[in-house]
Amino acid sequence: MTENSFQHGEKNRYFAAKAIHAVIYKGQSLRRWSEHQKQLKLTTKEERFMSAYLLGSLRWFIQSKTILRYLLRSPIKDKDKIVEILLCCAIYEISRMRTPDYAVVDSTVEAVKIAKKGHLKALANATLRNFIKSREEFIKTARLSPKGRYSFPLWFIKKTKQDYPNDWQSILDASNQVPQIWLCINTSKISLAEYQQKLLIQTGQKGVLLYSFPNAIGLQKNTNPTELPGFADNLFHVQSPGAQLAAEILKPEKDDFILDACAAPGGKALHLFYKEQSINLTAIDISRQRFPMLEENFSRTKLKATLICNDLLTPEKWWNRKKFTKILLDVPCTSSGVVNRDQDIKYLRRASDIDVYHHKQMSLLQAAWDLLEHNGALLYCTCSIFSDENTKTIKQFLTLNKNASILEIKNVDALKKWGVIKTENGVQLIPGKGLNDGFFYSLLKKR
């Protein structure tokens, strides 16, 4: 029997399992599979199921694998790991989706056949039926361990507990929530009220406004952004409220010369233009994979900026020697504050990465600092909750650069309401409070 002989549900489950296998056992980003998914030519209903099944299975994989260990007498062999993945996906589907139990079992067993692991179909059938019979007991037992309770790697749990002894549990729980889609509205073209009306007419949802976020509208339904009103007309781009704070804090002014370092895919750069159209913006990113997204966003919006694919650390290759009045430095990091939006972070990051990122952040911060004019401002930001990438980095930088000082972040009303922790050299947002995003911002002035 060929793969094409099977039903869509079985093939879709197999495809999802292959994607999760690539993330967990090959260290590949889930984004690499988005183009493959388009080739499946799914209906809208199938696409919604596929998204929920794939992302949900990845979100709860560690918990599901903990349960699977209690169900199996011996571990599944390395060469058959795709079956382990399929079983973990099925455990998630039985526990947290509305699919009838019999349909999950039948489709998973057929997916095992597609994977050419027919010798394990009886094992898959028996294992899932055993789980269905005593699911509450298995789930309760799995939740006794930290990994089974929170579905996070142990190193991540320990680090979060170390940095946030009073909030670590709520941070981990919030990081497993399905994220809401937020739009950043181009209010230089349309008001929030006007866009809400367009959204209501075209999609039947009015959207959610957020106090003190003048550009933010949250969607009440999971909708493809390209299908929303005004996508092609530059009326919005997708951006979480935590990320929207960057433009609110940096406050672009008329004729500012601004550098957006590490700029791709370009959401923060677009938001700077929404706030002030007269700025002179240079956006640079080193990634040849991400840079086309930056180009695409500026092409779609028809906004004028200098876009450069190069290394911030080698300015002699791209810089024209004119120093910038303001710099936005959104550095690479563990992304530990936005796991809810990118669940593969749980599996792609290691504890050792924190120190690697810290040193990279120090290098980028020093390189950007040298491009800033006297009395200029630099906004350092990460989407991390770990202090080693945030307060430690800034503290070390201040020690090495006596012409740098902290500017108090003020006159940003959103920071007064939405779950912000003030640190000695910036502000920290954490999942589980207010915005449900984990971001760090530190504003520096060059004396």
Q: Same domain, yes or no, for 441 and 319?
A: yes
Q: Do both 249 and 357 map to the same domain?
A: yes
Q: Please check whether residues 198 and 81 belong to one and the same domain.
A: no
Residue 165, domain member (yes or no): no
Domain-embedded: residue 174: no
Q: Is residue 164 part of a domain?
A: no
The CATH code of the domain that includes 228 is 3.30.70.1170
**Domain's final residue, options 221, 238, 255:** 238
* 251 lies in the same domain as 186: no
Domain containing residue 223: 182-238
* Residues 264, 246: Cα–Cα separation, whole Å: 14
For residue 220, being part of any structural domain is answered with: yes
Quick one: 375 and 390 in the same domain?
A: yes
Same domain, 234 and 135: no
Same domain, 231 and 260: no
Q: Is residue 155 domain-resident?
A: no
228 belongs to a structural domain:
yes
Query: What CATH number does residue 136 fall under?
Result: 1.10.940.10
Mean pLDDT split into 10-residue runs, the chain, 447 residues: 53 94 94 72 84 95 98 96 98 96 96 97 98 98 98 99 96 96 96 96 93 93 90 93 96 97 96 96 96 93 94 97 98 98 96 98 98 98 98 98 95 76 89 86 97
- Total domain count, the chain: 3
Catalytic residue annotation: 383
Contact 147, 31 (CB under 8 A): no
- CATH of residue 305's domain is 3.40.50.150
Q: Do both 279 and 228 map to the same domain?
A: no
- 284 lies in some domain: yes
Looking at the structure, do residues 11 and 110 belong to the same domain, yes or no? yes
One domain for residues 192 and 287: no
Query: Exposure of 261 by Cβ count < 10 A (0-12 exposed, 13-18 middle, 19+ buried)?
Result: buried
Asked if 286 and 225 sit in the same domain, the reply is no
What pLDDT does 42 receive? 81
Give the pLDDT score at 35. Answer: 65
In a domain, 429, yes or no: yes
Residues 140, 254, single domain; the answer is no
